[in-house]
Chain A
Amino acid sequence: AAGVIQSPRHLIKEKRETATLKCYPIPRHDTVYWYQQGPGQDPQFLISFYEKMQSDKGSIPDRFSAQQFSDYHSELNMSSLELGDSALYFCASRKGQEFSEQYFGPGTRLTVT
């Protein structure tokens, strides 16, 4: 079965640079979530989209922005990167109103040096 695809899987950036993470949800899933997991921490919700509209927002820094496109893929844009942004970034997708569970991608490991 098709799974959530995230690219790139690994990314190394320097401080103050920008990064773009991409997420391709499972086909026919209309809801996308982004989570951040710092070293030794639990995943924390950043932002979500339903039918291409932002549906909820968590502890996402103002330096980050995201959107969901017409084909339902989503991109997380991160600017002015800081060392503390080094983390695993997970994308999850869900088909709203039918199934409750979220399906997670393999994550993008971002390292800021």
Chain B
Amino acid sequence: DAKTTQPPSMDCAEGRAANLPCNHSTISGNEYVYWYRQIHSQGPQYIIHGLKNNETNEMASLIITEDRKSSTLILPHATLRDTAVYYCIVGKSSNDYKLSFGAGTTVTVRA
């Protein structure tokens, strides 16, 4: 699986958009970009995933560059409950696909 690079930490003001970057320059054509988050010691939570088109759901938006070498997760209106470690993971969608968690981004939302 391709490796990802994320900034170790970032702060965000409550109510503002949080833009979380991720580099995955070695991603292959059939690999997806997944985003999960982990709120302190809880089980990781799925946020969103995409292949090459931009995606949006009730939690976030995912913007993938045309060359697919990087992506940005956007939390449109951050709340204090969005404080968590955010993981960008690249991998295939298959029956036996495991998640390879790397060093994510610790996002702190401040009032």
Q: Which residues of B contact A33 (CB under 8 A)?
A: 98-99
Which residues 19-34 of B have a CB within 8 angstroms of A? 32, 34
Asked if residues B101 and A43 are in contact (CB atoms below 8 Å), the reply is: yes
Q: If the complex has contacts A42-B101, A44-B101, are A55 and B46 also in contact, measured as CB distance less than 8 A?
A: no
Binary contact readout B71-97 vs A (1 if CB under 8 angstroms, 0 otherwise): 000000000000001010000010111
Interface residues on B, range: 20 to 34
The distance from the CB of A62 to the nearest CB of chain B, in whole angstroms, is: 19
Q: How far is the CB of A36 from chain B (nearest CB, A)?
A: 11
Contacts A42-B87, A42-B104; A104 near B98 (Cβ below 8 A): no
> Are A100 and B99 touching (Cβ within 8 A)?
no
Asked if A88 lies at the interface with its beta carbon under 8 angstroms from chain B, I say: yes
Judged by a CB distance under 8 angstroms, whether B68 is at the interface is no
Main secondary structure of the interface of B (DSSP, over half): loop
Mark B24-67 against chain A: 1 for CB-CB distance below 8 A, else 0. Answer: 00000000101000100111111001000000000000000000
Interface footprint category on A: 20 to 34
The yes or no answer to B103 lying at the interface (CB within 8 A) is: yes
Contact of A104 among B32, B44, B85, B95 (CB under 8 A): B44
Q: How far is the CB of B49 from chain A (nearest CB, A)?
A: 6
Q: In the complex, which of the residues B45, B95, B99 contacts A43, with contact meaning CB atoms closer than 8 Å?
A: B99
With an 8 A cutoff between CB atoms, is A4 at the interface? yes
Distance to closest chain B CB from A83 (angstroms): 19
In the assembled complex, how far is the CB of residue A78 from the closest CB belonging to chain B, in whole angstroms?
19
A25 close to B (CB within 8 Å): no
Residue from A50, A100, A107 within 8 A of B34 (CB atoms): A100
B8, CB-defined interface residue at 8 Å:
no
A102 contacts which chain B residues (CB < 8 A)?
44, 46, 99
Contact A97 B103 (CB under 8 A): no
User: Could you show 6 A-B contacts with beta carbons less than 8 Å apart?
Assistant: A42-B102, A43-B99, A58-B98, A92-B99, A106-B43, A107-B43
Residues of chain A touching chain B, judged by Cβ–Cβ distance below 8 Å, are: 4, 31, 33, 35, 42-45, 48, 50, 55-56, 58, 88, 90, 92, 96-97, 100-107
